[in-house]
Amino acid sequence: MDALSLFDPERFIILGTNSTWARLFGGNVLSVRDVALDPTRVEELLRAVVASGKRERASRGSWRRPDGSQFSADFSVGVHAIGGTKLGCLLIEEVGVAAAAHDADDEIPAEERSIPDGLSLAVRDRIVRTARQQQALLKLASADDQDFEEYVKAILKVDADTLDVARASYWKLGENHASIVLETVYDKSKGAFDTPGAELLSRDYPNYFGALQTKTIIPAHDAMTDPRTNELAAPYLGPLGIGALLDVPVFLRGELVGVLCHEHLGPARGWTLDEQQFAMSIGQTLSIALAARTRDEVARTLRRSESKLAEAHSALKRALRPGDGRLTDRIIAGYRVGQLIGRGSLGEVYRAIDLDNDDVVAIKVLHARAMENPENVQRFFREARITQSVPSEHVARIYDVGTFDNDTPYMAMELLEGHDLGWHLRRVERLALDQVVELCDHTARALAAVRDAGVVHRDLKPSNLFLVDALPRVWKVVDFGLSRGETDPYETVSDEIVGTPAYMTPEHVNGGAVDHRTDLYGLGAIAYRALTGRAPFEGDLHEILRAVVMDHPPPVSSLVRDVPIEVELVLAIALAKSPRERFDTVEEFARSLADAAYGRLDEATRTRGWRVYRARRS
């Protein structure tokens, strides 16, 4: 009988054998794994194979069994390329009586000693397939599974290459098991992935969905006639030329959640038992990945809830409900002061009436204790001066600035009726894409005017973008308390973070120079928060500051499913670590975001986005 072994041609380590080899050299198939090959003649022939470019070379040699006895036999050695892996094959042919591990009384008749050519080839193919499948599973076990979407793509590619099928795809089971939706497909002929979003409804294909409900593998050797899959012939299998299907159920905590589909193009074909077992192993790998992602999503939800709670607590501390304040009913600087409508750590905001024209305005004043620090007074007047210098309908207007009783600073400003973005996000978690496009468009107009005035806002965050309760909808940028001129010398405040960490730029955190691209980054971070329901970076202060400088936000696609990849590419440019890699202007960012949202992003920006996106993932 022929003795067959497969081995690693670089390390000369056996990967698999047939039973004849195991009987000759001791033990069984498993116990002879990791045994170094001998004799050296094999290695010499192997080098000759590689040098000649041929697949196989034959010779004759002497072989030693574990008991010390020897026998001579013809053998062949070759190297076969399987995907990107090389596999060595050593075949000792027609092992004679002297080599057989039997006594003379137990000798196998000569007519039964040799393996028929067809069976020998089948045995060899089976061992080659098994070794290839084992290597594929080991490759997946060592793959990076942090990014679920990318890990699924890695699974599908390894799956298609190993089983040598035209396409491998993952379909997600819909609500109430009423449909399956194509999530990702790997097309081996193109060497590329696609997410076309095809959907099959259970009411149209009851037999196929009935087979899925059995939660067992569906090896349709002839998919066009198999009663489980022939319903798919006209609308799906026929147009694509699919002759055979191998569908594997995917589970999460025992519940069916998806299908791993293997599509063979061409005529019907059989699915061997080892191929079906490998496909089931891939399905189990997908199930494990889904379970890990679910645990991560639960953890992220908890973190977001904690973050929202902290935001709400902070907002509660900063503001009071409307009511009487210490200045209510007083007349200061020509304004009759009404209800207190807001209070912060440095001052208060009141509704007031301008006695000259009866216009309703907002009056902002500093607390007496805040005036004890001269820098607070300087910051108050600087905010007023800078805001007045920015002519835009998307910036709250300042009408008047001055002092009253004991030089207490005040500013009379546009009264805004509505709520800030932080308030909205605490109620709906995330905005629709078209609303984010509108938000960025209005804010970009404001920031363009800010830039043209030679100013950097430096503290863009959800609470500083205000949606006015009016039609048409208008977003306004407020609170220029941390703003400064682009040419002003950079100042630092001891023991104080100047800005909001989660929306700060790396250069800001590092104490470097800031310019209009700092505000562009801030708007990009706000768009990310509004689209995904979480800030780009989360954690305590130290963790956030480190992440702003060293890390990248989680991919948008890992948090939400309904945002086009082009939007993620635009955000990748806006949130680039280096200012030079960001958009040149905030208007370009807002325009590109709108183009991406509505399917008209130009190729140059798309290519640029992919370059930044892939660089940060490498």
Dihedral, CA of residue 259, residue 264, residue 268 and residue 271, to nearest 10:
-60
Decide which of 218 and 111 is more confident: 218
Residue 493 has pLDDT above 50, yes or no: no
Hey, which residues does 594 pair with through a beta bridge?
none
Q: Which one of 122, 139, 156 terminates a domain? A: 139
Sheet harboring 70-82: ordered strands across?
Answer: 13-17, 3-8, 85-92, 70-82, 56-64
Please tell me the total number of residues recorded for the chain in this structure.
Answer: 618
Position 317 in a domain: no
Burial status of residue 81 (CB atoms within 10 A of its CB: 0-12, 13-18, 19 or more): exposed
Position 43 in a domain: yes
Residues 450, 523, single domain; the answer is yes
Identify whether the C-beta of residue 326 lies closer than 8 Å to the C-beta of residue 368: no
- CATH code of the domain in which 117 resides: 3.30.450.20
What whole-number distance in Å separates Cα of residue 564 and Cα of residue 46?
52
CA-based nearest residue to 181, from 190, 192, 189, 170:
170
Q: What is the pLDDT of residue 97?
A: 37
Question: Which band of pLDDT confidence, cut at 50, 70 and 90, is reported for residue 176?
Answer: confident
Position 322 in a domain: no
Helices marked H in 107-237 = 110-113, 117-141, 148-163, 206-213
- CATH code of the domain in which 377 resides: 3.30.200.20
Give the domain range for residue 185. 143-295
Residues 352, 396, single domain; the answer is yes
Residues 58-102: pLDDT tens digits?
Answer: 677 777 777 777 777 777 777 766 545 677 777 776 554 333 333
- CATH code of the domain in which 504 resides: 1.10.510.10
147 Cα distance to chain centroid: 5
Handedness of CA 148, 153, 157, 159 (dihedral sign): positive
Residues 587, 513, single domain; the answer is yes
CA-based nearest residue to 454, from 477, 478, 487:
487
- How much of the chain, in percent, has pLDDT values that exceed 70? 74
Q: What is the pLDDT of residue 350?
A: 92
Residue 174 has pLDDT above 60, yes or no: yes
Residues 547, 423, single domain; the answer is yes
CA angle 305/308/309 to nearest 5° reads 85
What whole-number distance in Å separates Cα of residue 84 and Cα of residue 391?
62
**Number of domains the chain is built from:** 4
Position 574 in a domain: yes
Q: What is the pLDDT of residue 127?
A: 63
Q: What is the pLDDT of residue 618?
A: 59
- CATH code of the domain in which 155 resides: 3.30.450.40
The average pLDDT across 192-203 equals 81
Indicate which residues carry an active-site annotation: 459
**Pairing between β-strand 13-17 and β-strand 192-194 as defined by DSSP bridges:** unpaired
Residue 554 has pLDDT above 80, yes or no: yes
Q: Which one of 242, 277, 295 terminates a domain? A: 295
Identify whether the C-beta of residue 422 lies closer than 8 Å to the C-beta of residue 311: yes
Residues 192, 288, single domain; the answer is yes
pTM: 0.51
The average pLDDT across 511-539 equals 91
Residue 183 sits at φ, ψ, to 5 deg, of -90, -50
Hey, which residues does 406 pair with through a beta bridge?
none
Decide which of 57 and 606 is more confident: 606
Instruction: Quickly count: other Cβ atoms within 10 Å of residue 161's Cβ.
Output: 19
Interacting residues of 294 by C-beta distance below 8 A, sequence separation 6+: 252
Residue type, 148: F
Residues 274-314: pLDDT tens digits?
Answer: 788 888 888 888 888 777 766 666 566 556 666 666 656 55
Residue 110 has pLDDT above 90, yes or no: no
Residues 428, 410, single domain; the answer is no
Q: What is the DSSP string of 509-540?
A: HTT----HHHHHHHHHHHHHHHHHSS-SS-SS
Position 300 in a domain: no
Residue type, 601: L
Please compute, for residue 386, the number of CA atoms within 13 A of its CA located in the half-sphere on the CB side: 27
Position 432 in a domain: yes
Residue 50 has pLDDT above 80, yes or no: no
Residues 134, 170, single domain; the answer is no
Position 485 in a domain: yes
Residues 57, 17, single domain; the answer is yes
Identify whether the C-beta of residue 108 lies closer than 8 Å to the C-beta of residue 96: no
Residues 282, 158, single domain; the answer is yes
Residues 410-444: pLDDT tens digits?
Answer: 999 999 888 999 999 988 889 999 999 999 999 99
Q: What is the pLDDT of residue 102?
A: 36
Decide which of 131 and 500 is more confident: 500
Residues 431, 383, single domain; the answer is no
- Arithmetic mean of pLDDT over the chain: 79
Q: What is the pLDDT of residue 214?
A: 82
Position 312 in a domain: no
Residue 466 has pLDDT above 90, yes or no: yes
Residues 457, 566, single domain; the answer is yes
- How much of the chain, in percent, has pLDDT values that exceed 90? 27
Q: Which one of 117, 139, 161 terminates a domain? A: 139
Residues 206, 135, single domain; the answer is no
Residues 215-241: pLDDT tens digits?
Answer: 788 888 888 999 999 998 888 888 889
Identify whether the C-beta of residue 243 lies closer than 8 Å to the C-beta of residue 264: yes
Residues 582-595: pLDDT tens digits?
Answer: 999 999 999 999 99
Q: What is the pLDDT of residue 119?
A: 45
